[in-house]
Amino acid sequence: MKLLKSSQIFDGEKFVEGYSILINNGVVEALVSKDEEPFVTKIAEITDFGESIIIPGFIDTHTHMLNYGINQETSVEKFETLEETLEFIEKFVSQNDLPFYIFNDFDESKWKVATPPTKAELDKISEKPIFLRRICGHMGVANTPFIKLLSQRIDLKQTQYDPETGIFLEEVPLKIHSLFQYSEDFQEKALLKAQDIFIKNGITMIHEIGSYRELRLLQKLHRENKLKIRVRFYISDSSPYNFEFNGIERGFGDPLLKFQGLKYFADGSVGGESALFTFPYGRKNSQGIWLLREGVEEEFRKAMELGLQVAIHAIGNLAIKRVLDIIEEVGSGENFRIEHFEFPDDEDIERAKNLRVKISIQPNFVYNWGQEKGMYESKLGPFYLKNNPFRKLIQTGLEFAFGSDAMPPSPIIGIKGATLHPKEEERLNKEDALIYYTKQGALLTQEAGLFGEIKAGAAADFTVVDPNLEEVKATIINGETLSCG
């Protein structure tokens, strides 16, 4: 047995003092009071975290761990200008002999001149195939050699592609790692590297969205005892689910790795100006893009028959409205999730609640782009203030939880975003924000009481944080300390 001590515990609902946590075989045996502690210390191994706080392990309800790992070598997020970005790409290409080069995470909204790169600019730095994907994943730009290579794999006429600028929207950037795959060995190393980063950020469970290839890789790591973080897996519609051949039911797996459901896209992103709104916006002065294909309702019905969760990406208010229309038509709203749900109209918040739809929200988006004078305001004007109405969702009784979309995979930054909403009346305090990054995450996969709480019978998954909730000190999964700062 193990006994964990600290100044305070957050049990999933509230902060409590005067208790320690007794663990037995990876499960919480009991919360032990100060009076009971002398009896327990005789039989338990003691770890004292001092003034730190023990909370339930963070549950990230929307992320892409494999892609995050792949992107680590070629991310350009840190650069503040197009010139710095191009300089990095040119140097990397000159030093690495690869058949193609995919760079990730440019965010022109953070540059001094907020203009996306073009094909001509990439052509100037190299004759090798280069693709540069925006941080949102919904937009990218290719140079001429890459476009030629891409045309050998797909019909460019079937894509949202501007030949003049080399800019692609939606299908190509979203599927770029499927169209141009790295070796399994490279992907395994990337996944393990990302797993370490996620765990160091205090994340003990993820709702991972990816391809069949990634699911097979996760199964391999599980067999080899290399998988440490808990995974609930969703197959992306960029890797279509064959209901006749792959008729796997929800929950297939074990407490470490489970198959959960399917993921679809209804619209794009605000930064890529492809999120679907009821009004025109941005440089293009368009409403955005609708991505759900005709007849998808039948796929949803088949998914319902298997008990699969269907997660649908919807950011703009019109996309949210149309997705709710489809859910009403299909029925079984409790098996649906809406991912992001960033700009819902008031009546659609109520509709989602009545339909019992679950929601995964990314508060780090508020931190990154939702502040005054941020990217959302530059694209949407005053409407940006309607982004991520946390308090309104709580008051309505909508069931939601927090995730990161790996931008970045840091619940600490997400908590900051939740507490710094540009509308004061929508801000959460840190205690409420913790609930939606722990206990509520387990509700989204119908695992309440098993994860996301510190109580008898729950998994011994914990994150140890400093008293100000600004730094992760340790991460514990199944009773084992995997990261200790």
Domain at 191, CATH number: 3.20.20.140
> What is the per-residue burial (b if ≥16 Cβ within 10 Å, else e) of 177-192?
bebbebeeeebbebbe
Position 177 scores a pLDDT of: 86
CATH code (residue 470): 2.30.40.10
Domain-terminating residue out of 162, 179, 196: 179
One domain for residues 174 and 225? no
Distance, CA of 150 to CA of 328 (rounded, Å): 39
What is the mean pLDDT of the segment spanning 403-422? 97
One domain for residues 309 and 355? yes
Domain-terminating residue out of 152, 179, 206: 179
pLDDT at 332 over 80: no
pLDDT in tens, 144-187: 999 999 999 999 988 999 999 999 998 899 889 888 888 899 89
Residue 271 lies in a domain: no
- Smallest CA-to-CA distance from 137 within 98, 178, 181, 78 is with 178
One domain for residues 405 and 467? no
Percent pLDDT > 90 in the chain is 82
pLDDT at 239 over 70: no
Residue 283 lies in a domain: no
Position 333 scores a pLDDT of: 82
pLDDT at 246 over 70: no
For residue 143, the enclosing domain spans 70-179
Position 89 scores a pLDDT of: 96
pLDDT at 245 over 60: no
CA pseudo-torsion sign 65, 399, 396, 428: negative
Residue 19 lies in a domain: yes
Spacing of C-alpha 444 from chain mean position: 14
Position 212 scores a pLDDT of: 86
Position 191 scores a pLDDT of: 97
One domain for residues 50 and 123? no
One domain for residues 371 and 227? yes
Spacing of C-alpha 78 from chain mean position: 20
Position 331 scores a pLDDT of: 83
One domain for residues 15 and 91? no
What is the domain count for the chain?
Answer: 3
Q: What are the residues whose beta carbons fall under 8 Å from the beta carbon of 50, sequence distance 6 or more?
A: 6, 7
One domain for residues 34 and 149? no
What is the mean pLDDT of the segment spanning 327-337? 91
Higher pLDDT among residues 244 and 418, named by residue? 418
Residue 376 lies in a domain: yes
Residue 270 lies in a domain: no
3-class secondary structure, 336? strand
3-class secondary structure, 237? coil
Radius of gyration of the chain (CA): 23
3-class secondary structure, 254? coil
Distance, CA of 446 to CA of 135 (rounded, Å): 31
Distance, CA of 150 to CA of 44 (rounded, Å): 60
Distance, CA of 394 to CA of 388 (rounded, Å): 11
Distance, CA of 86 to CA of 98 (rounded, Å): 18
DSSP state of 181: P
Distance, CA of 3 to CA of 20 (rounded, Å): 7
Distance, CA of 85 to CA of 83 (rounded, Å): 5
One domain for residues 155 and 206? no
Quickly state the pLDDT bin for 247 (edges 50, 70, 90): low
CATH code (residue 91): 3.10.310.70
pTM for the model stands at: 0.92
**Phi (first) and psi of residue 396, to 5 degrees:** -75, -25
Position 251 scores a pLDDT of: 74
One domain for residues 398 and 419? yes
Residue 278 lies in a domain: no
What is the mean pLDDT of the segment spanning 325-341? 93
Cα dist. 205→215, 258, 340, 442, 449 in Å?
Answer: 15, 11, 18, 9, 14
Q: Strand (E) positions, 6-121?
A: 8-10, 15-16, 19-24, 27-33, 45-48, 53-56, 58-63, 101-106
One domain for residues 444 and 460? no
pLDDT in tens, 66-125: 999 998 889 999 999 999 999 999 999 999 998 999 999 999 998 988 888 999 999 999
CB atoms within 10 A of CB 431: 12
pLDDT at 284 over 60: yes
Residue 385 lies in a domain: yes
Domain-terminating residue out of 142, 158, 179: 179
Residue 292 lies in a domain: no
Position 282 scores a pLDDT of: 94
Beta carbons of 270 and 376 less than 8 angstroms apart? yes
Q: What's the angle, vertex CA 360, arms to CA 359 and CA 366, rounded to 5?
A: 120
Beta carbons of 129 and 99 less than 8 angstroms apart? yes
One domain for residues 329 and 189? yes
The token duo for 288 is 């955005």
Matching residue, tokens 């399994």: 184
One domain for residues 75 and 161? yes
